[in-house]
Structures are given as structure tokens and as C-alpha cells.
């Protein structure tokens, strides 16, 4: 499931992050990928585990975990500390698949079930730079307003198109879900969304109580915690 989550970060949070990032030292983005990724990745990012990356990453993580839509869609168990990257001057990241296991310094490894990008640049600030995700339903190009996020299965082949003008700044991260199977997560999300919609129209009628019970029984069956 691929889902646009609007307004994860407030405008003032985005602007404060951008100001801090403008004064930061970027490193070669290939520092955080394996051999295959290094062949197609050309960008810059904050050093993993740097004080600024950890500070800003805590803000992004807290905003995501406090977002009801993100929680319902992803069912997060563990979030890898977010990274921050920048693309300009033709930089890009060619077609690749995210590694299945991401090492979290000083903590348990994270299985990458869901990938997430939180955009920090407005679409009109740069040319190109679309996040392109390929799945069984085709090819999807994503370029969202600053503060918005996109989540999609980490099993998807994806890329960032060359940025031919301006600068594209974003935060990106991986999540280990309580439900590793994307199809099962999608069903739970759709069931939950329909329950919430019906509750708003009809209240907690007996039929909705029963559907809510089915949701939690499915989650109980599929969740790994």
C-alpha cells in the first residue's frame, strides 16, 4: 500500500529544520548504502548518528508516531532514526530496493517493512526529483508539499529522479511494522478507515462493535510484537 499522509510536520517545524540544515555539513550519501546502492546513488546526507541528525530525527519520529493516519496505515513496531538528504545539480538515486535489515546503532536491528519520505522542500523549489515507485499497479511519481509524507512497501523498486534545478531536501526512514505483510496491513487499514467513517455517521451501533472486534482479532492473529 502506498499512502500520502498530509501535514506530518507543521510549517514552522519545516522552516526551523531547513534553517538548521542549510548550516549543516553534508557527506556523500553513499556512506549509508551497500555495493549495489552505491553504484546508482548520487546525493548528500547528514552523517548517520550526528547530533543534528538525531535531534531533527526525534522531531520527525515523534510527529509520525503522533499522526493517527500514519499509525493506522503502518502499525509501527520500531522506527529507525530518520536520515536527512539533499539533491541538487543533477544528483539522483537510481532504481534500487531498500535493504531488508537496517542496523540501528546501539539498538536492535530493524526489518524494513515500510519506507517513508517526509518532504522538506516545496515542489516549486526544485525541478525533477520525483520519487518514483514501481509496484504491481504500475509506476507512481511522488512530489509532495513540505511537511507531507509518503509511505510505501520497502519491497518496492524505487528511485529519485535527477534534480535539475533548485534543491530537494527530505527526511527518510524505515519502519518495522507489527504486521510484516503489506496485503494484511492494507486490509487492516481499509477496515479501520471504514469503521471510523461509519462510527462518525452512526455511532457505536452493535454492527460496528462487531466489526471492531473483527479488526482486533485479525490484528491479534497477524501482529508480531
Q: Are residues 35 and 146 in the same domain?
A: yes
Residue 36: all three cell numbers together: 549495489
Q: For 183-218, what is each residue's pLDDT tens digit?
A: 999 999 999 999 999 999 999 999 999 999 999 999
Domain-ending residue, one of 160, 177, 194: 177
Tally the domains of the chain.
2
DSSP string across the chain: --EEETTSS-HHHHHHHHHHHHTSPPEEGGGGS-HHHHHHEE-EEPPTT-HHHHHHHHHHHHHHHT-HHHHHHH-EEEEPPPEEEEEETT-EEEEE---SEE--TTS--EE--EEEEEE-S-GGGEEE--EEEEETTEEEEE---TT-EEEEETTSEEEE--EEEEEEEEEEEEEEESS--HHHHHHHHHHHHHHHHHHHHH-S-HHHHHHHHHHHHHHHHH---
Residue 20: all three cell numbers together: 538548521
Q: For 14-28, what is each residue's pLDDT tens digit?
A: 999 999 999 999 999
Residue 91: all three cell numbers together: 544528483
Residue 200 sits in a domain whose CATH number is 4.10.860
Q: Are residues 173 and 189 in the same domain?
A: no
Q: Are residues 159 and 210 in the same domain?
A: no
Residue 56 sits in a domain whose CATH number is 2.60.120.620
Q: Are residues 118 and 191 in the same domain?
A: no
Q: Are residues 196 and 158 in the same domain?
A: no
Q: For 1-12, what is each residue's pLDDT tens digit?
A: 999 999 999 999
pLDDT at res. 157: 96
Average pLDDT over residues 172-190: 97
Q: How many angstroms separate the CA atoms of 119 and 121, rounded?
A: 6
Q: Are residues 165 and 151 in the same domain?
A: yes
pLDDT at res. 107: 74
Q: Are residues 36 and 123 in the same domain?
A: yes
Residue-averaged pLDDT of the chain: 95
Q: What residue numbers bound the domain in which 192 lies? A: 182-222
Give residue 137's pLDDT band: very low, low, confident or very high (50, 70, 90).
confident
Q: Are residues 204 and 115 in the same domain?
A: no
pTM comes to 0.95
Q: How many angstroms separate the CA atoms of 190 and 184, rounded?
A: 10
Q: Are residues 83 and 193 in the same domain?
A: no
Q: For 77-99, what is each residue's pLDDT tens digit?
A: 999 999 999 999 999 999 999 99
Give residue 104's pLDDT band: very low, low, confident or very high (50, 70, 90).
confident
Q: Are residues 35 and 115 in the same domain?
A: yes
Q: Are residues 169 and 79 in the same domain?
A: yes
Most confident of 46-50, 99-103, 186-190: 186-190
Per cent of the chain over pLDDT 70 is 100
Q: Are residues 166 and 105 in the same domain?
A: yes
Amino acid at each position: 500500500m502506498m499512502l500520502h499522509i498530509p501535514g506530518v510536520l507543521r510549517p514552522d517545524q519545516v522552516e526551523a529544520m531547513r534553517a538548521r540544515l542549510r548550516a549543516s555539513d553534508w557527506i556523500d550519501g553513499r556512506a549509508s548504502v551497500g555495493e549495489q546502492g552505491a553504484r546508482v546513488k548520487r546525493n548528500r546526507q547528514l552523517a548517520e548518528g550526528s547530533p543534528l541528525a538525531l535531534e531533527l530525527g526525534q522531531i520527525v519520529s515523534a510527529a509520525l508516531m503522533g499522526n493517527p493516519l500514519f499509525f493506522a496505515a503502518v502499525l509501527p513496531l520500531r522506527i529507525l532514526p530518520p536520515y536527512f538528504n539533499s539533491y541538487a545539480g543533477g544528483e539522483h538515486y537510481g532504481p534500487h530496493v531498500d535493504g531488508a535489515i537496517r542496523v540501528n546503532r546501539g539498538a536492535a536491528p530493524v526489518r524494513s517493512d515500510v519506507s517513508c519520505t517526509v518532504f522538506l522542500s516545496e515542489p516549486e523549489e526544485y525541478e525533477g526529483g520525483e520519487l518514483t515507485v514501481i509496484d504491481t499497479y504500475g509506476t507512481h511519481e511522488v512530489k509532495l508539499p513540505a511537511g507531507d509524507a509518503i509511505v510505501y512497501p520497502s519491497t518496492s523498486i524505487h528511485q529519485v529522479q535527477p534534480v535539475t534545478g533548485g534543491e530537494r531536501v527530505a527526511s527518510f526512514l524505515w519502519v518495522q511494522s507489527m504486521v510484516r505483510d503489506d496485503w494484511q496491513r492494507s486490509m487492516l487499514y481499509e477496515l479501520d478507515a471504514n469503521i471510523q467513517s461509519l462510527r462518525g455517521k452512526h455511532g457505536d451501533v452493535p454492527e460496528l462493535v462487531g466489526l471492531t472486534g473483527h479488526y482486533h482479532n485479525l490484528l491479534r492473529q497477524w501482529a508480531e510484537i
